[in-house]
Amino acid sequence: MHEGNAVKTKNDFVRIKKGLKFQPLLLLTNYKHCVIIVFELILIRNDFMYRIIRKAILNPTVTLMEIEAPLAAKKAEPGQFIILRTDKNGERIPLTIADFDRVRGTITIIYQIVGATTEKLNYKNKGDYIEDLTGPLGIPSKTDGLKKVAVVGGGVGCAIAYPIAKKLHANGVCVHSIIGFRSRELVILEDEFSEASDMLCIMTDDGSYGEKGLVTTALKSLIEKGEVYDEVIAIGPLVMMKFVSALTKEYGIKTTVSMNPIMIDGTGMCGCCRITVGGEIKFACVDGPDFDGHKVDFDEAIKRGSIYRKIERAAHEKVCNLYQNINED
Partner 1 sequence: MANMSPEKNEVRCQEPSERIKNFDEVAYGYDVETAVSEAERCLNCKNKPCVDGCPVNIDIPAFIGKIKQREFVAAYKIIRESSSLPAVCGRVCPQEKQCEERCVRGKKGEPVGIGRLERFADTFYSSRPESFKTPELPESNGHKAAVIGSGPAGLSCAGELIRMGYSVTVFEALHVAGGVLVYGIPEFRLPKTIVQREIYRLMNLGVTIETNTVIGKTFSIGDLFENGFKAVFIGSGAGLPNFMGIKGENLNGVYSANEFLTRINLMKAQQEDSDTPIMPVKNIAVVGGGNVAMDAARCAKRLGAENVYIIYRRSENEMPARKEEVLHAKEEGIIFKFLTNPAEITDGGDFSVNGVKCVEMELGEPDESGRRSPVPIEGSEFILEADSVIIAVGTSPNPLIRDTTEGIKTNGRGCFITDENCRTSIEGIYAGGDAVTGAATVILAMGEGKKAAKAMDEYIRGNITI
Interacting residues with ligand FES (CB under 6 A):
263-266, 268-273, 283, 285
**DSSP code for 140:** P
Per CB under 8 A, does 101 bind partner 1?
no
For residues 20-79, which are near partner 1 according to CB under 8 A?
Answer: 22, 25-26, 28-29, 31-32, 34-35, 38-39, 42, 71-72, 75
Contact 204, 182 (CB under 8 A): yes
133 touches which of ligand FES, partner 1, none (CB within 5 to 8 A by kind)? partner 1
Cβ 286 to ligand FES shortest distance, Å:
6
**Options 3, 281, 320, 324; binder of partner 1; rule CB under 8 A:** 281
Contact 200, 211 (CB under 8 A): no
Cβ 120 to partner 1 shortest distance, Å:
7
The CA distances from residue 12 to 105, 260, 264, in Å, are: 12, 30, 27
> 96 by DSSP, 3-state: which?
strand
Contact 105, 116 (CB under 8 A): no
320 touches which of partner 1, ligand FES, none (CB within 5 to 8 A by kind)? none
Instruction: State the alpha helices, DSSP H only, in 53-110.
Output: 70-75
Cβ 265 to ligand FES shortest distance, Å:
4
- Pick 19 or 271: Cβ nearer ligand FES: 271
Distance CA 51, CA 49 (A): 6
38 touches which of partner 1, ligand FES, none (CB within 5 to 8 A by kind)? partner 1
Distance CA 64, CA 52 (A): 10
β-pairing, 231-235 vs 148-154, is: parallel
322 touches which of partner 1, ligand FES, none (CB within 5 to 8 A by kind)? none
Distance CA 258, CA 255 (A): 10
156 touches which of ligand FES, partner 1, none (CB within 5 to 8 A by kind)? none
| Residues comprising the chain, all counted | 329
- Pick 207 or 271: Cβ nearer ligand FES: 271
Q: State the virtual CA torsion across 281, 282, 284, 285 in degrees, nearest 10.
A: 120
Amino acid at position 81, single letter? F
Distance CA 252, CA 107 (A): 36
Cβ 257 to ligand FES shortest distance, Å:
17
- Pick 182 or 303: Cβ nearer partner 1: 303
Q: How many other C-beta atoms are found inside a 10 Å radius of the C-beta of residue 317?
A: 12
What residues contact residue 27 under an 8 Å CB cut-off, 6+ apart?
Answer: none
Across the strands, what pairs with 175? 149
Cβ 111 to ligand FES shortest distance, Å:
18
Cβ 246 to ligand FES shortest distance, Å:
26
Region from 114-122, 165-173, 184-192, 200-208 binding partner 1, contact rule CB under 8 A: 114-122
Draw the binding track, 241-280, toward partner 1 (x: CB under 8 A; -: no contact). Answer: -----------------------xxxxxxxxx-xxx----
**Which phi and psi (to 5°) does residue 232 adopt?**
-110, 130
What is the binding site for partner 1 (CB under 8 A)? 11-13, 15, 22, 25-26, 28-29, 31-32, 34-35, 38-39, 42, 71-72, 75, 85, 89-92, 116-117, 120, 131-137, 264-272, 274-276, 281, 283, 286-287, 300, 303-304, 306-308, 311-312, 315
